[in-house]
Amino acid sequence: MKQSPMFKHAIESFQHGLEHYLDGSERSRKFALLHIDQAIELMLKEKIVQLGKSIYKSDGTTLSLHESFNSLKDLKLKEQPRLEELHDLRNTVQHKGLTPDPDSTQFFIEIANAFVKRFLKEELDISYDSILSPKYSVLLQEEKLPEFEGVFSLLDAAEQKDNPVEKIITVYTALQRVVDIYSVTSDKKPSFRKTFKDIMSANGNNPQTLKPYLTKIMILRNNVVHSDYSPTIEEADSYYQGAWALLRKVGITKGFKGYRPRIEEPKVSLCIHHSNGRDCCGSFVAFNPSSNPCDITDIKLTSTIPLPQLNLVSLKNHPSRGKVRGTDQKLPLPIPPGRHRVYFRTEEVIELYRGLLPKTTTIQVSFNKSKSEQKTLNKGDTHHYS
């Protein structure tokens, strides 16, 4: 199938953007973002045309990036907020002469590259490697800083900047990276405000206390990006301090390695089978916020009655009763980064108890042999069978 001139232009722009990015000079970083942003806009328009819709408005001009996203709203593109941020940065580079720093450039190039790989395959039915040289995949696979070290590296870079616009944009990019760390496995579009409030809630604090911090961060950033406003260096320094205040408020400070793994949505079933034994099974969502896998090393159920050991686990479905299937395994169970539902069951059904089933059951999950998460389930949260 022949490719349209618009799609060819999109690929050329994307290639030029990657070449500028890999060059690494200040001038090339500017052109990298300009070309990559243009490539993404053209790819979106190519999809619009393939869907049988027009990219032209009544005045003869073509759709903007934001209007293109709106035309494709049924696709629910989860990368949209980050790509709109890239477009805003592109406008600041072009209209205000901003020179993006290496960390900010890398942040957005990685986002754009991941989007293009997925969008080409899933929406345009074209392989990334079929239209781009394999050298780009190799060259872009540089070793990245651990997730929160990347945040702190951006903030350190921002502190050294004398240009107020550059300082503010770099600080906001660091905060965006926090949002992406916590949203990387979610199918929903990451929300800046909601993500920080969720972090606050997960730490047991009132998320409403973040409102003045978030408002200050968003207002100045939007003024800089979406208007001709020229901030002073004093405002930029205050913005930098405000970002650190926000991070301290939610519990993120230098040396922070990420929240420990935790469990969500636990479900437990306690059963008596054939009037001669008791079986336990259930599931929970394991959230690993790190960029590296972690291990579930132990799962325990405790209650007012003795319960058997849980020793079969799976990430696919409930383990079979009394035997091991291909998807079943014994602990430890590796958990990739992100949220994954873990299923568990006792391998053997043995006689342990006769009588009424308990009103509450506690599940305790140990990660990496030391860090444990514990949830207590009331009778309404626990399925009882007999």
Helices (H), the chain: 5-23, 26-50, 65-71, 80-96, 102-123, 128-131, 134-140, 147-159, 164-183, 192-202, 211-226, 233-249
Give the pLDDT of residue 350: 52
3-class DSSP state for residue 237?
helix
The order of strands in the sheet holding 333-335 is 333-335, 294-302, 360-367, 371-378
Query: Mind giving me the DSSP string for 179-227?
Result: HHHHHTT-SSPP-HHHHHHHHHHHTTS-GGGGHHHHHHHHHHHHHHHHS
Phi, psi (deg, nearest 5) at residue 127: -80, 135
DSSP-derived letter for residue 329 is B
Tell me how crowded residue 14 is: count the other CB atoms within 10 A of its CB: 24
* Residue among 144, 115, 120 nearest 130 (CA): 120
Q: Are the C-beta atoms of residues 223 and 164 closer than 8 Å to each other?
A: no
Residue type, 119: F
Tell me how crowded residue 385 is: count the other CB atoms within 10 A of its CB: 10
Q: Are strands 277-288 and 262-273 parallel, antiparallel or unpaired?
A: antiparallel
CB-neighbour burial class of residue 32 (10 A; exposed 0-12, middle 13-18, buried 19+) = buried
Q: List, in sequence order, every residue forming a beta bridge with 264; answer none if it has no partner.
A: 285
Residue type, 19: E
Phi, psi (deg, nearest 5) at residue 275: 60, 15
Write out the chain's pLDDT in tens, 386 residues. Answer: 678 999 999 999 999 999 888 877 888 999 999 999 999 999 999 999 999 999 999 999 999 999 999 999 999 998 999 999 999 999 999 888 888 888 889 889 989 999 999 999 999 999 988 888 766 765 665 445 556 777 888 888 888 888 898 899 899 989 988 887 776 544 556 688 988 988 888 767 888 999 999 999 999 998 988 888 889 999 999 999 999 999 988 888 766 655 567 787 788 877 645 455 556 788 888 877 665 678 888 888 887 777 777 778 888 777 766 555 666 778 888 888 777 888 888 765 555 555 666 778 888 888 876 656 677 776 555 655 54
Residue type, 333: L
Q: Are the C-beta atoms of residues 258 and 290 closer than 8 Å to each other?
A: yes
Q: Are the C-beta atoms of residues 340 and 285 closer than 8 Å to each other?
A: yes
Kindly give, in sequence order, each residue whose CB lies less than 8 Å from that of residue 226, ignoring residues fewer than 6 positions away.
Answer: 88
Judge if the upstream peptide bond of residue 5 is cis by omega within 30 degrees of 0: no
Tell me how crowded residue 369 is: count the other CB atoms within 10 A of its CB: 10
